[in-house]
Structure formats: C-alpha cells, structure tokens
Amino acid sequence: MSRAVDTDLPTDEEAAARAVAAFTDRFGTAPEGVWAAPGRVNVIGEHTDYNGGHVLPVALPHTTRAAVARRDDGRLVLTSLQHPDADADVAVDDLVPGTPGGWAGYPAGVVVQVRTSVPGGLSLLVDGDVPAGAGLSSSAALECAVALAVSDLLGLGLTPDQLVDTARRAENDFVGAPTGILDQSASVLCTAGHALHLDTRDRSSEQVPLDLAAAGLALLVVDSGTTHDHAVGGYGDRRRECEEGARRLGVEFLCDVPDVAGLAALDDGTAEGALLLRRARHVVTEDARVAEVVALLRAGADPRDIGPVLTAGHASLRDDFEISVPELDAVVEAALDAGAYGARMVGGGFGGSAVALVDAGAVDAVSSAVTERAGAPRSFVVVPSAGVRRLS
C-alpha cells in the first residue's frame, strides 16, 4: 500500500541544516545562505496560463533547497544530492542555452540572466523532495529557489513578479520548455492555508482560503508513475494549436472568447478546424471551471461541491485537449470508484500526477485503490503550504 502522508518531510530547520552540512562537505566552506521553494499542484485551471486565463494552484509542503556561496574564479559549480553523478562546472561567461543540460540547466538558466552581477561565480548545492517528472513542478521549485538566492545574495531586490519572470525565462529560454507562468507563480506567490487565484493576463491575484481538513476532506495527490518532459513532446504542440485557434478567431488569447458558442467559427468542416475547436473548447470551459470553483469556495459552500467540477476538468483534458494517458485515466477512475468526490489529472499532461478530493477518513482506501487498480506508486495528502523563502 502506498503511504498516504509524507511524514518524512524535513522541517525548514532540518532542511537548512542538511543543506549547510552537505555544502560544507562538498565545497569546504559554509554557504552564505539556504533558500527553499515549493512544488505545486493545481486545483483547477490547466493550460489556461498561456491563453490569458486563470489558475488556482496550491504550494506543496515539498520543497527544493539551494545552498549558495559566491566564488572568485568566475565559475558556476552546481551539485545536487538527487543527482550525485551529474555535477556541472562551467565558466559563467560560457553559459549558453542548453549548456549545461539536464537538471543543472534550471539553476544555470537563472544565473545566466544575472551574470553581470556575478563576475566571481557561484557555488550552488541543491537538495529537495519535490518528486521529479511527476507533474508537480520540481523544475519551477528549483528555478525559484535559485532566483531568490541570487536576488538576496547579489542584492538585486527582485520583486515577486520579477522572481516569477526570472524563473520562467530559465525554463523557456535556457531549458527550452515553452511553458506559461503557472508553476513559477505558484512557487513564489502561494501562502500556507490558501489556494492562489491568479489572473495570468494582468497578474492580479487573490489568496483563497482552503481548509479542507476543517470540512473533513483531503486533497490526495497521486503520482501515476509515468513521467513527462515539457521541453519535448506535445506541450509545445498544444500551445501552437491554441495560438492558431486564437489567430483564426481574431482574438489575442482564447480566454477572450466568453463561451463555447463564440468558438463556432473554428469549425470550418476540416479535420484541423475540428481539432482546433476541441482544443479551444477545453481552454474556454476550463477558465469557466476556475471561476466556478473560486465562487464556491468564496461563498463558503461545502468543498465537496467542487468535486464534479474537477472531474469535468479531467474529461476535458482527456477528450478535448487530449493530453491524458491511460495510467492517469485509470487513477481517476479508481479514485472515483473508491469514493472520491472528484478527481483529475494535473499539470502539463502526457504523464505525471492526478488529484482526488476525498473524505479524510477515506484517504487510505483511495490510496490503496489507486495503487492496486492503477499501479500508482505514490500518493500523499496536500496541505496548502508556503511559497519561496530564505531558510538560513
């Protein structure tokens, strides 16, 4: 049976001490500080963030930590406790998109943007517990921890929106994944006990209280065990399809279209028109689902009522956006059959995780069901947690 709660997550103090010890062991001196940023899970609002729409993520209790110190030899030396055989050591002046690659590309993509401020270079040790490749934003957590680290250490004073943009550019321009701002915004802006209601067009946001435990509920995250990679594959295809749909409709973003009826012009009798209509229908209905969930939560409704909206979101991602996989569909079905009020895949798609809204007393039963029926290796209850921060 999979473990339903990650009881082995370190406290911030424990995480900082472990990073300081590992950094000192590796580099022979203590770091100048340790910074942490969380992964995220999105309650609702997938693939709306590059379509001028809304999202509603919560930060995970799982974080990525960066222990950092300045150097004087002009090099960027990167080491990770999770990738012990993949250190990177490169002159700051030699950083170019794609080099270094792999996990080191994410911190390097942040550092390259501030390289005129770090002529001496940096030593950076990474530690963390955000599951990688599980659709829970381990890459954004790494980028955001490093973005706040360089901002603090180099006295850059980046605002929260500037941290988000710095982290996002690392992903888009250095790693080459054409993502929106959902993940980095969640990692920077989320607060404990709340979901972040973000308008990705004007960047206005609202902290929506989310105390599921008080209602006897739990939000269970289920890692399907299938991994994804947004730098390759279908994510970029979906983004291009959405942009083409908006172009044909004469709008800047698909979320400018108020309802599904406004998409009718996409259906021009061709297979491509029908495909663009399905993609756009997901985006427009998903943005409406964010509004529906936020309205229910604001009105103090029974949070069980958001369950069917989550399940409708899964059907839309599966049938219209076509980014689910059989493993995720199986997790959702198993969770619903085991009594979940709602369930859906989360994140960019083509693998990763799902969420299920369940009675607190049913967490073990639903965890067992998704493991036994869908082969999901891991599930845990999310407590909405804090965003990026300095630990020491």
Q: CA-to-CA distance for 356 and 367, rounded, in angstroms? A: 10
Question: Exactly one of 183, 223, 287, 320 is catalytic; which is it?
Answer: 183
Q: Which of 79, 113, 179, 324 binds ligand GAF (CB under 6 A)?
A: 179
Tell me whether residue 141 or residue 208 sits nearer to ligand GAF (CB atom).
141
Q: Which of 6, 143, 183, 241 binds ligand GAF (CB under 6 A)?
A: 183
Residues pairing with 219 in the sheet: 357
Binding window for ligand GAF (CB under 6 A); candidates: 20-28, 175-183, 324-332, 354-362: 175-183
183 is catalytic: yes
Tell me whether residue 165 or residue 183 sits nearer to ligand GAF (CB atom).
183
Binding window for ligand GAF (CB under 6 A); candidates: 97-105, 115-123, 177-185, 332-340: 177-185
Total binding residues toward ligand GAF, as defined by CB under 6 A: 11
Site mask for ligand GAF (CB under 6 A), range 195-234, x = bound: -----------------------------------x----
Q: Which residue has the tokens 């989360």?
A: 346
Q: Which of 31, 33, 347, 384 binds ligand GAF (CB under 6 A)?
A: 347
Tell me the torsion sign for CA atoms 81, 86, 89, 92: negative
Tell me whether residue 16 or residue 222 sits nearer to ligand GAF (CB atom).
222
CB of 47 to ligand GAF, least distance (A): 5
Pick out residues in 40-69 that bind ligand GAF (CB under 6 A): 46-47, 49-50
CB of 83 to ligand GAF, least distance (A): 21
Site mask for ligand GAF (CB under 6 A), range 148-167, x = bound: --------------------
Tell me whether residue 41 or residue 90 sits nearer to ligand GAF (CB atom).
41
Binding window for ligand GAF (CB under 6 A); candidates: 16-24, 176-184, 246-254, 371-379: 176-184
Site mask for ligand GAF (CB under 6 A), range 291-330, x = bound: ----------------------------------------
Tell me whether residue 40 or residue 65 sits nearer to ligand GAF (CB atom).
40
Q: For residue 302, which phi and psi values (nearest 5 degrees)?
A: -60, 120
Give the length of the chain.
392
Tell me whether residue 46 or residue 320 sits nearer to ligand GAF (CB atom).
46
Tell me whether residue 129 or residue 286 sits nearer to ligand GAF (CB atom).
286
Among candidates 136, 133, 120, which has minimal Cα distance to 63?
A: 136
241 binds ligand GAF (CB under 6 A): no
- For 162, residues 6+ apart whose C-beta sits below 8 A from its C-beta are 151
CB of 28 to ligand GAF, least distance (A): 37
- In SS3 terms, the chain reads as CCCCCCCCCCCHHHHHHHHHHHHHHHHCCCCCEEEEEEEEEECCCCCCCCCCCEECEEEEEEEEEEEEEECCCCEEEEEECCCCCCCEEEEHHHCECCECCHHHHHHHHHHHHHHHHCCCEEEEEEEECCCCCCCCCHHHHHHHHHHHHHHHHCCCCCCHHHHHHHHHHHHHHHHCCCCCCHHHHHHHHCCCCEEEEEECCCCCEEEEECCCHHHCEEEEEEEEEECCCCCCCHHHHHHHHHHHHHHHHCCCCHHHCCCHHHHHHHCCCCHHHHHHHHHHHHHHHHHHHHHHHHHHHHCCCCHHHHHHHHHHHHHHHHHCCCCCCHHHHHHHHHHHHCCCCEEEECCCCCCEEEEEEEEHHHHHHHHHHHHHHHCCCEEEECCCECCCEECC
Q: Which of 61, 180, 351, 384 binds ligand GAF (CB under 6 A)?
A: 180
Tell me whether residue 75 or residue 239 sits nearer to ligand GAF (CB atom).
239
Contact set with ligand GAF (CB under 6 A): 46-47, 49-50, 179-180, 182-183, 230, 347-348
Q: Catalytic site residues?
A: 183
